[in-house]
Structures are given as structure tokens and as C-alpha cells.
Amino acid sequence: MFNDKTYNQKMDKTIEVFTKELSSLRTGRANASMLDLVKVDVYGQAMPINQVASITTPEARMINIQVWDANNVPLIDAAIKKSDLGLNPQIDGQLIRLPVPDLSEERRGEIKKVINQWVKNVKFQLEIYVEKQTMI
């Protein structure tokens, strides 16, 4: 039997994840949500940066990360460098500065490819939900 409520919840969740992924892309402006998908291995588990530090954007092209525990600074630095954001952290004690460079043509091409891949994944997931519901 077709369950409209479950079907809508799954589709809404898929679109919500896609929206979160889009907000994490590095465009030309600094945005604290760019770091939402970056996980840091601290205290025995992978945690988002915003759970181990305060994130602010004092300028249009700068993100400041005020780390609460000095021992986590190198871990956060390594996690940012490993991410696909292409940012180079500058460490000043417990403060990590992330200058956000202008977008180059090469980076714009990379962003287009990433977005196209995400769109394909979302379409595929939505098609699976539709197929499952039509089989029932």
C-alpha cells in the first residue's frame, strides 16, 4: 500500500541533505556553513568543527575559528587541509584564520562538477523512492 507520509519524509530528507551540501560549497565569500561537513577526530570520535570551536566571519573573505581546547588546534588544521575546500589555515595560538580566496576559472569548473554529481545523486535517490512506491 502506498504510504504518502513516509514517501514525502524520505524525499524531504533527501532535499534537505542536498541543500546542506550546497551551503557547504566554497564560493567567493566566507561563510561559516562551509565548514559544516568538515569532521575533526577529537575525543575518540569524528565531530563537526562547530562542536569544538566558535566559528565567525569577521570579513567577507575571512573565517575565524576560535578553538576551545588548544590540543585540538592541529587536529582542526589537519581536517581543514584534508577537506576539499581548498583553504589554507593560518594558526595564531588558539585562533585559526581561513582566508577565502577569489574563485578562479578552474575552481568554478570544479564546483560545477561537484554540483552536477550531487544533482545526479539526488535524482537517483528520488527515482529509487518512486520505484519502491510503485512496486508496492
Predicted confidence at residue 59, as pLDDT, reads 87
Same domain, 65 and 96: yes
Q: According to DSSP H, which parts of the chain are helical? A: 4-23, 73-82, 105-135
Q: Looking at the structure, do residues 33 and 92 belong to the same domain, yes or no? A: yes
Residue 99, classed as helix, strand or coil, is strand
pLDDT of the residue at 78: 92
The amino acid at 51: Q
Please give the biggest Cα pair distance in the chain: 60
Residue 34 and residue 75 in one domain: yes
Contact assessment for residue 35 and residue 49, using Cβ atoms and an 8 Å cutoff: yes
The confidence score (pLDDT) of residue 24 equals 64
End-to-end Cα distance, the chain: 6
pLDDT of res. 40: 93
Q: Are 33 and 23 part of one and the same domain? A: no
- Residues 87 and 111 grouped into a single domain: no
Tell me the β-bridge partners of 67. Answer: 53
Shared domain check, 95 and 47: yes
- Strand arrangement of the beta sheet that strand 90-92 belongs to: 53-59, 62-67, 95-99, 90-92
What is the span of the domain harbouring residue 84?
29-102
84 lies in the same domain as 133: no
Phi, psi of 93 (to 5 degrees): 70, -120
pLDDT, one tens digit for every residue, the chain (136 residues)? 556 777 778 778 888 888 777 766 656 677 788 888 889 999 889 999 989 999 999 888 899 999 999 999 999 999 999 987 778 899 999 999 999 887 778 877 887 888 888 888 888 888 877 777 666 6
Does 6 share its domain with 66? no
